[in-house]
Amino acid sequence: MSTIINNIEIIKAKATKINDVDFNNLKFGHVFSDHMLECNFKDGKWAAPKVVPYQAITLDPSSKIFHYGQSVFEGMKAYKDANEDVWLFRPLDNFNRLNISSKRLAIPELPENYFMDGLKTLLEVDKEWVPKNEGSSLYIRPFVFASGNGFHASPADEYKFIICTAPSGAYFSGEVRVLIEETYSRSANGGVGYAKAGGNYAGQFYPTQLAIEKGYQQVIWTDDNTHEYIEEAGAMNIFVRINDTLITGPTSDRILDGITRKSIIELAQAEGIAVEIRKLSVLEVVEAAKNGTLKEMFGAGTAAVISPISGFGYKDTDYDLPKLDDTYANYLKKRITDIQTNKAEDPFGWRYKI
């Protein structure tokens, strides 16, 4: 039995799993909602997406995803406000970035209506799964990968686009200590660093494990050429506050164009905080740490929104950041989450109602 909403066919799950879920003790991305969106590319075109029960997928062992890593993804969140209305945050930016990533990985781009109508319909069907608790949200994972077969090292002829959702609690990473990386690189000029490609993450895991063994929680990526400039914090964009100026690097081949990053820049500027978008050298940050002008460092990304850094290691020396009462990190995080959850006005038009 199927129904159709927003032109999207829906095949409902026979039973809901929602009663097994403790919404007061949600981890991040561990339980999955009843349904998913599925859309297949075959014979040169994307077929209409469908909402289907969340389920395992079967792939041929020669599927190109396993061998050549053609896969891209997005990360976004849905929030429920006090009236039980459901909101997304700048979803068209996620759609556009998914296609930018796909293009770089020779994956066929998706039509906007398949992504947006598919996402809307999935969220309408699984509306009950959007958590209400403070800090909680429905984490949304759209992804596209090569499902076509064959060992020939060339782009696949078939792909799958899937959206799964996971009710998730507040992402508390705590204060993290980071290691400024001098050997490994996350990305390079001409590479795929600006794409949300699965392989970018695989390449980060080993250097991050080494940093964890040394007692840090995360790596600060520097430019691949000289390792002299700060680029990203793990899989987040990075902001550094020196005196009262917020500094972040310019997006490039190597630095991912984060939606949280650009929202922070716009918000901070609107609030009269000085923002500089420019190359930021490790030496400048070390100098600022030594002379006391380094006030804050934080990562920015959808999962944690803002993740404060308490100190960093560089060339066998550790530097601590001051413990401030009023941080830009706390202030900007509250401003963004209040807009996301419909607790504050949205002068930028970022919220999107489902």
Q: Using CB under 6 A as the criterion, which residues of the chain lie in contact with ligand PLP when the complex forms? A: 75, 196, 232, 235-237, 256, 258-261, 301-302
215-251 burial, b at 16+ Cβ within 10 Å, e below that, comes to ebbbbbbbbbeebebbbbbbbbbbbbbbeeebbbbeb
Tokens representing 29? 């991305």
> Is 323 in a helix, a strand, or coil?
coil
Tokens representing 225? 């050429």
> Is 264 in a helix, a strand, or coil?
helix
Q: How far is the CB of 77 from ligand PLP (least distance, A)?
A: 9
CB neighbour class for 41 (10 Å; exposed up to 12, middle 13-18, buried from 19): buried
Q: How far is the CB of 52 from ligand PLP (least distance, A)?
A: 26
Q: Which of 190, 292 has the CB closer to ligand PLP? A: 190
Q: How far is the CB of 160 from ligand PLP (least distance, A)?
A: 21
Q: How far is the CB of 40 from ligand PLP (least distance, A)?
A: 25
Give CA–CA dist 209/223, Å, rounded: 20
CB-based contacts of 350-353 (< 8 A; 24+ apart in sequence)? 350/89, 350/90, 350/263, 351/87, 351/88, 351/89, 352/87, 352/88, 352/89, 352/90, 352/91, 352/92, 353/85, 353/86, 353/87
Q: How far is the CB of 143 from ligand PLP (least distance, A)?
A: 12
Q: Which of 52, 306 has the CB closer to ligand PLP? A: 306
Q: Residue 74 — φ and ψ, nearest 5°?
A: -135, 165
Q: DSSP state, 235? A: T
Q: Which of 302, 337 has the CB closer to ligand PLP? A: 302
Q: How far is the CB of 205 from ligand PLP (least distance, A)?
A: 13
Q: How far is the CB of 259 from ligand PLP (least distance, A)?
A: 3
Q: Which is nearest to 296 in space by CA: 270, 267, 263, 273? A: 273
Q: DSSP state, 20? A: G
Q: How far is the CB of 10 from ligand PLP (least distance, A)?
A: 28
Q: Which of 126, 232 has the CB closer to ligand PLP? A: 232
Q: How far is the CB of 331 from ligand PLP (least distance, A)?
A: 18
Q: Which of 17, 141 has the CB closer to ligand PLP? A: 141
Give CA–CA dist 86/126, Å, rounded: 11
Q: Which of 33, 260 has the CB closer to ligand PLP? A: 260
Q: Which of 155, 199 has the CB closer to ligand PLP? A: 199
Q: Which of 52, 162 has the CB closer to ligand PLP? A: 162
Tokens representing 348? 């930028």
CA–CA distance from 330 to each of 304, 318, 320, 346 (Å)?
Answer: 12, 24, 18, 19
Give CA–CA dist 108/171, Å, rounded: 33
